[in-house]
Amino acid sequence: MSRRTIELTDDLYDYLLQVSLREPPLLARLREETAALPDAGMQIGPEQGQFMGLLIELIGARRVIEVGTFTGYSALIVAGAMPDDGRLICCDVNEETTAIARRYWAEAGVADKIDLRLAPATETLDGLIAEGGRPFDFAFVDADKENYGAYYERLLKLVRPGGLIAIDNVLWSGSVIDPEKSDADTEAIRDLNAKLKDDERVSLSLVPIGDGLTLARLRG
């Protein structure tokens, strides 16, 4: 099959940002502060964040859940894209990095939209399932890769029909096609990608943005 996706060189990526990125100064400052952290590679790119904000607007999301928050960049974008009565539940376990997130959420005036729950995400998701209903319009997964399958199955019970699940890092810097890579994270992503391909519960698209972003729309 011939290639149909353009290769993004550094210069072309810079041009993409120049002609399309609308990153407010506060978001840029958060991204710069995050870049100084040891795990800075966990931060999504600004163009991916802007794309997610557009998705929130397109589907009119009012109830969102995020699995993996880090320093709060994606949450800040999502909360800003939701209406005033929108609510975002963030799942994370790191008090230090989410303290940075809280600071920026407060400065942006969106802290009242965000419910940060510091606990293993499976526990938070199970608790939400136990409460009943399908309250969420959108879910974003960007956390420990070994649990991606577990998060996905739980989110299928929480997202409404027609709602969207976005899963980050599904190309895993190319490791998914490297036969020499067999670590638990890589295998977990491979397994989920293969499962999603044939999962008739969702409509599917893998978008080559950032490190690969899968969009799964719940059917029904």
Name the fold adopted by 10-218.
Answer: Rossmann fold (3.40.50)
Residue 123: CB partners within 8 Å, gap ≥ 6?
Answer: none
Of residues 6 and 98, which shows the higher confidence score? Answer: 98
Q: What is the pLDDT of residue 220?
A: 85
Q: What is the pLDDT of residue 4?
A: 76
Sign of the CA dihedral running 148, 154, 159, 160: positive
Return the bridge partners of 81, or none.
none
Collapsing DSSP to helix, strand or coil, 36 comes out as coil
pLDDT greater than 90 at residue 150: yes
For 96, other C-beta atoms within 10 Å of its C-beta total 8
Split at pLDDT 50, 70, 90, the class of 2 is low
Taking phi first (over 0 means left), then psi (-120 to 50 degrees means alpha), and beta for anything else, what does residue 109 get?
Answer: left
**And the tokens for 99?**
């303290």
Return the bridge partners of 138, or none.
64, 164
Pairing outcome for strands 213-218 and 202-207: antiparallel
For 148, other C-beta atoms within 10 Å of its C-beta total 25
Per-chain mean pLDDT for the chain: 96
Split at pLDDT 50, 70, 90, the class of 1 is low
Please identify which residue in the block is written with the tokens 């353009």. Answer: 6
Summarised one tens digit per residue, pLDDT across range 104-126 is 999 999 999 999 999 999 999 99
Q: What is the pLDDT of residue 132?
A: 87
Phi, psi of 177 (to 5 degrees): -110, 10
pTM of the model: 0.96
- H or E segment to which residue 138 belongs: strand 136-141
168 within 8 A of 180, measured Cβ to Cβ: no
b/e 5-36 (16+ beta carbons within 10 angstroms → b): eeeeeeeeeeeeeeeeeebeeebeebbeebee
Split at pLDDT 50, 70, 90, the class of 53 is very high
Domain residue limits, the chain: 10-218
